[in-house]
Amino acid sequence: MKTKMSCLALPVAVAIAVTLTASAAVAQTVDTARIDSAGQNDWLTYHGSYKSYHYSPLAQINPSNVANLGVAWIHIPGRSTRGLQSMPLVADGVLYYTGSYSRTFALNGATGEVIWSYFPELDEALVARQTHSPYNRGAAIGEGKVYVGTMDGRLIALDMKTGKVAWDTKLIDSQKLTVGFTGAPLYAKGTIVIGAQGGEWPGRGPIFGVDAATGKKKWEFLTVAGTDDAVKTWGNDSWRTGGGGGWMPGTYDSETNTVLWGTANPAPLYDWSGADYKTQGARPGDNLYTSSVIGLDMDTGKLKFYHQELPHDAWDFDSAVGEFVMLDRDGQKYVVHPNKSGYIFVYDRNLGVKNVWRITQNSNFVKDINPKTGELVGRRDFSAGKVSEPLCPHISGGVSWNSGSYNPKTGLYYKLGQEWCMTLEVQKTTPIVAPQAQLNIGADFKIAPPPGGEIYGHLDARDPITGAKKWEVRFPEPPLGSVLSTGGNLVFVPDSRGTVHAYDADTGTELWNHGDGTGHQGGIISYAVNGKQYIAVVAGFGGMASDDYAPTFGGVYKSMPRDDGALVVYSLK
Amino acid sequence: MRLSWKIIALLPPILVAPLMVSSIPARAQQPAAPAADNEPLDVGQLFATTCGWCHSDGGRAAGKGPQLMDSQRDDDFMHNRIKNGKEGAMPAFGTTFSDAQIDDIVKYIRALKPHQG
């Protein structure tokens, strides 16, 4: 790793500063305490605050006036290859967001005027070799800087006021590993945490801690065999190319100084081991710390505790979903984390299992998960050959990597579920023993409807601890974007067809909708400037899940662009 | 089949270079031997490890990418698309596979048949 200072980085970057007044609001320092307290008007980190509620307490927009919600302004980032997938951030009236190729913008939150923009110069030949690319899922802010990762393995810090490069640190040898960073970083306590892509890409899936002031790497945790004990869970030295990674931002528990992060799946995705997965197949053993939730010491990156949600994940239902919903109930502190399979894990703050519930109807990769212990019951471990009964859910998951929303006023967790399956033929492949410029899937497969039914998606309003369902709204195709709930008793869902819906948070009654002109698969937030509330949503379709929509559903998806996008901001007319 | 200079140049650093820094004691390296010059590319494996995510059912059905079986595209088009990719849709494999290997991939695609039974 090497750190380039701004004087070196500037010649290879394009930073355009526009001489506009940054905001009517008075800019204040964004630090750990401010993110922890989640101010009324801002959206300071990917998940809103370290509580990860994706909730805004703003109540100006509410059921009595949401019918008057209209477009306030739009921003077009350009070159939105595979759509827009990021989560905007807002501090002191300035909106920061990223697009494909890590294009980064600072906009006046009230008007959309560009304050500055930054387009990093990337290794385009490398990006052209990548499959999960070139989208970017967001930035972090703190200590006067905006932090964004790149597909060619760098983490870049930009001055919040000017967009000028403060530092540019190469963390991954992406030429060798092919992968880089698509997920948003997390800022806390003077450190930037960012996780690499991995999963089906042969590597060891590092998560990094980087000094926010200097860009110097502080620590690195390998999600594949990151401890001596974990090495023993990978037979035949398969840890060398185990996959893993942590490509979505987790959160920070300030009470214990712990980073909570979800890790991705092992490679190959599908193993031919059969039931003897402890000793047979491509990667014999439990494959720690893939498909796990981990707690790392913020200062050192040392592993404090973990729970492997899917030991020896043989289905690509990983734990990389970044939500760690921090709840206090009846004197107990909980953390709620959705697994890609559609099972929702409820933990204590040390990641001890307290409950497990399921949001999907169609699920057969296991018979169940023990709600007291988290143990998988009746798991399906495939041998090479055609799998007789379709696997549910589909590889795109029972839930998306996008986030749900917890509303402390209603006590309900609003989360999207996805009902789809896949036919599968597992292939016994030659072991891949070193990183290379190819994936490692291990099967041929095809999307399929659930047995006896059709593919669909649903927004559920549930108790986050017990999973008890209060209401549900169904969609003909699974929505892939994030969910927002507000103190105005509203729940916003940007769907795949391109419509943003607002529902009554208590009943699920639809109160408003508006078309954004293309599908959604990214973030939605609310913020306020000069006493006025705004809803900001990114529109723009394309990516590993949404690329299946045109051949599967036809209709509007046939003509929906996968290289376009816009940030659309709403306010009351 | 001979590997092109590109393959010869690329494979050794990819396959032999040490992995990322780790706290784990170094173990005996077990690098994959570079493919012999005359070793044919196992395209079936390639679909199972890489191509099949987008070209569903081993290239027999439309998925994220188009159905390849019975494609009306000519060989030159397929060769160039595999080699150079398409921004946002198809990775470029021109630095991973030689022209001869890409020709093998095209031949495999041409021979794709529906599954029996």
Per-residue pLDDT of chain A (573 residues; tens, 9 = 90+): 444 444 344 434 555 554 344 444 567 899 999 999 888 999 999 999 999 999 999 999 999 999 999 999 999 999 999 999 999 999 999 999 999 999 999 999 999 999 999 999 999 999 998 888 899 999 999 999 999 999 999 999 999 999 999 999 999 998 888 889 999 999 999 999 999 998 888 889 999 999 999 999 999 999 999 999 999 999 999 998 899 999 999 999 999 999 999 999 999 999 999 999 999 999 999 999 999 999 999 999 999 999 999 999 999 999 999 999 999 999 999 999 999 999 999 999 999 999 999 999 999 999 999 999 999 999 999 999 999 999 999 999 999 999 999 999 999 999 999 999 999 999 888 777 766 667 888 888 999 999 989 999 999 999 999 999 999 999 999 999 999 999 999 999 999 999 999 999 999 999 999 999 999 999 999 999 999 999 999 999 998 899 999 999 999 999 999 999 999 999 999
* Closest C-alpha among A341, A368, A336, A338 to residue A351: A336
Burial class (CB in 10 A: 0-12, 13-18, 19+), A431: middle
CB–CB of A129 and B57 under 8 A? Answer: no
CB–CB of B52 and A445 under 8 A? Answer: yes
Residues in contact with B117: Cβ distance below 8 Å, sequence separation at least 6, in sequence order:
none
Instruction: Chain B: give the shortest CA distance to residue A287, in Å.
Output: 15
pLDDT at A436: 64
Read off the pLDDT of residues B10-25 as tens digits, 9 standing for 90 and up: 333 332 233 233 333 3
Instruction: Chain B: give the shortest CA distance to residue A127, in Å.
Output: 8
How much is the mean pLDDT over chain B? 71
Q: Sign of dihedral through CA atoms A274, A275, A281, A287?
A: positive
Which residues in chain A have their CB less than 8 angstroms from residue B89's CB?
562
* Cα angle A458-A464-A466, degrees, rounded to a multiple of 5: 105
Q: What is the mean pLDDT of residues B25-50?
A: 56
SS3 B12: helix
Q: Helices (DSSP H) in B1-117: which residue ranges?
A: 5-16, 43-49, 56-59, 75-84, 99-110
Structure tokens at A46: 């990917």
Tokens 């997920």 locate to A183
Phi, psi of B16 (to 5 degrees): -105, -25
Strands (E), A420-565: 421-426, 443-448, 456-462, 469-475, 484-486, 490-494, 499-504, 510-515, 524-529, 532-539
Tokens 């490398």 locate to A126
Which residues in chain A have their CB less than 8 angstroms from residue B31's CB?
433-434
Q: Does B26 touch chain A (CB under 8 A)?
A: no
Which residues in chain B have their CB less than 8 angstroms from residue A480's CB?
none
The whole-angstrom separation of Cα A138 and Cα A195 is: 13
Instruction: Chain B: give the shortest CA distance to residue A346, in Å.
Output: 31
Which helix (H) or strand (E) segment is A126 a member of? helix A124-129
Which residues in chain A have their CB less than 8 angstroms from residue B17's CB?
176, 434
A268 upstream amide cis, omega within 30 of 0: yes
Domain ranges of chain B: 1-29, 31-111
Which residues in chain A have their CB less than 8 angstroms from residue B65's CB?
547
Q: Which residue of A has its CA nearest to B13?
A: A176
pLDDT at A201: 82
Structure tokens at A66: 């949401």
pLDDT at B117: 55
The whole-angstrom separation of Cα A513 and Cα A337 is: 29
CB–CB of A432 and B49 under 8 A? Answer: yes
pLDDT at B24: 32
Amino acid B114 reads: P
Q: Biggest alpha carbon distance in chain A?
A: 64
* Complete DSSP assignment for A36-91: HHT-SS-B-STTSSTT---EE---SS-TTTGGGEEEEEEE--S--TT----B-EEE
The whole-angstrom separation of Cα B4 and Cα B13 is: 16
DSSP tag of A275: T
CATH class in words for B31-111:
mainly alpha
Q: Does B48 touch chain A (CB under 8 A)?
A: yes
pLDDT at B84: 93
Binning pLDDT at 50, 70 and 90, where does residue B38 land? very low
Q: What's this model's pTM, rounded to 2 decimal places?
A: 0.90
State the count of interchain CB pairs (< 8 A) between A and B: 133
CB–CB of A434 and B21 under 8 A? Answer: no
Query: Of these residues, A316, A318, A495, A516, which one is catalytic?
Result: A316
pLDDT at A15: 52
pLDDT at B8: 29
The whole-angstrom separation of Cα B2 and Cα A563 is: 38
Q: Which residue in the set A228, A240, A441 is minimally distant from B49, CB to CB?
A: A441
Which helix (H) or strand (E) segment is A377 a member of? strand A376-377
**Strand-pair partners of A347:** A335, A353
CB–CB of A439 and B61 under 8 A? Answer: no
Q: Is A159 tagged catalytic?
A: no
Tokens 């599954």 locate to B115
* Complete DSSP assignment for A154-201: EEEEEETTT--EEEEEE-S-HHHH-----SPPEEETTEEEEE---TTS
Structure tokens at A387: 């799998």
Strands (E), A384-452: 385-386, 405-407, 412-419, 421-426, 443-448
